[in-house]
Amino acid sequence: MFGKVLVANRGEIAVRVMKTLRRMGIASVAVHSDVDAGSLHVRTADESVPIGAAPVAESYLRIDRIVEAALSTGAQAIHPGYGLLSENPEFARACAAAGLVFIGPSPDSMEMMSSKIRARETVSAAGVPVVPGCTEPVHPGPKAFATAAAIGYPVAAKAASGGGGKGFRVAGGPDELAAAVEGAAGEGERFFGDATVYLERYLEDPRHVEVQIIGDTHGNMVHLFERDCSVQRRHQKLVEEAPCPLLTDAQRTRLGEIAVRAARAADYFSLGTVEGLLAGDDFYFLEMNTRVQVEHPVTELVTGLDLVEEQIRVAAGEPLGFAQPGVRITGHAIECRINAESAAKGFRPGPGRIERFAAPSGDRVRVDTGVAEGDAVPPYYDPLIAKVITWGEDRAAAAAAMRKALDETVVEGIPTLLPFHRALLASEEWERAGTCRDLVADRAWLKSTDDWADRRE
């Protein structure tokens, strides 16, 4: 096992990884930009190394500086967290070249799944169902119109290397197709350095369901059941729960088998997530995330596993300590992402200083955060400041625990999504396990969430 691990990330995921490292008796190294010098993840680590200015291109995306930080501190491995360099195969290769272990899958598997076109082709050949569409790159022009007509409108124009809601545009008809393709290509180029776009059928109101998998380097592979991530805004997740409230046992078994088949098609090991769309009884592969997910805590609460620990053990060459029959779901878990944003103002970010921060407590509540009272939330990074996660014997009990936890959570000095979550968890749409798409898209309803800003029990 490793003696020291560098965490190549910031915020709540860096803190969360460091907590597991400490419990495992492994020393942690933080890296930080100038503006993050006094942040919680730096204070949590055993030691820290500055790596540049605030913009991520000058710090957290600097592979050379991060590798040098690991070597200079004597770290044997690097945990990338999520976002930033976590799915960058060149980062994994740079780690290997420097004699460092990358805590994640192989660069080849990452590369295969980083391209949505190649991923679709790979899993489809393995018998995994994919959303109807094409795998050939398209450009505005006659061929794109012919392809869209064959698929059937509405169609989604998707950047081949996109993710997190970036590089995704919908065309409801031929008159919207050129703009959708150009918009997806532009975002693909801007955010991922790849303007390649493909088309697939846009499903109007599917459930976004994903399956957690983990494999080791000895050929063992299991799934850890599914999460429902249907509550989103602009294709970015807001609320997640495990298990999916509408799946039958037979569907759950089938989805798990599909996810394992997709991962094996990519010669995968480590922690990963197979994301898909559930439309009625049909489940379609969407993409595979080759890293730990933001929403991994809900899986941890219903399975009793520490996914980061399992990820580290796999990277150290250990075989999985459990097989598929030994993994069980117990109860239900819900996660609400607390972003520094105002839902009432169209999810506008609100960086600033946190004047007061009080987290909920109790044996059914978990809070993962990267901030503390008095900390500043800089404008340079993702606005996620904390995640509130609750557990219950069933969905109703988990939701009741969440409503209580949200009412007990206090963040002052900056806007947050707390009012949004309080209103959402009180809605009929949530109660009946709807996707809540109509609510999240309703500007009037979003403005009304401000009425929940000072709600307390």
Q: Which residues are catalytic?
A: 291
**In sequence order, what are the residues at sequence separation of 6 or more whose Cβ sits closer than 8 angstroms to the Cβ of residue 127?**
261
Give the tokens for residue 340: 């520094």
Question: For residues 93 and 162, what is the distance between their CA atoms, to the nearest angstrom?
Answer: 21
Q: Where are the beta strands (DSSP E) in 80-125?
A: 101-102
Strand order in the sheet with 384-392: 282-289, 270-279, 207-215, 221-233, 236-242, 332-339, 384-392, 365-369
Q: Is 438 helix (H, G, I), strand (E, B) or coil?
A: helix
Note whether 62 and 79 are within 8 A (CB).
no
- Stretch (H or E) spanning 314: helix 307-315
Nearest to 289 by CA among 368, 214, 347, 356: 214
Which amino acid would we find at residue 444?
A
Q: Is 221 helix (H, G, I), strand (E, B) or coil?
A: strand
Which amino acid would we find at residue 83?
G
Which amino acid would we find at residue 376?
A
Which residues face 159 on adjacent strands?
197
Q: Is the preceding peptide bond at 80 cis, omega within 30 degrees of 0?
A: no
Q: Sign of the C-alpha dihedral, residues 136, 140, 144, 149?
A: positive
Question: Pairing between strand 47-52 and 27-33?
Answer: parallel
Note whether 330 and 302 are within 8 A (CB).
yes
Count of beta carbons in the 10 Å neighbourhood of residue 190: 12
Question: For residues 13 and 16, what is the distance between their CA atoms, to the nearest angstrom?
Answer: 5
Q: Is 398 helix (H, G, I), strand (E, B) or coil?
A: helix
Question: For residues 360 and 69, what is the distance between their CA atoms, to the nearest angstrom?
Answer: 36
Q: Render the burial of 313-347: b for 16+ CB within 10 Å, e for the rest.
A: bbbeeeebeeeeeebebebbbbbbbbbbbbbbeeb
Runs of H (alpha helix) within 135-284: 142-151, 174-192, 249-265
- Stretch (H or E) spanning 242: strand 236-242
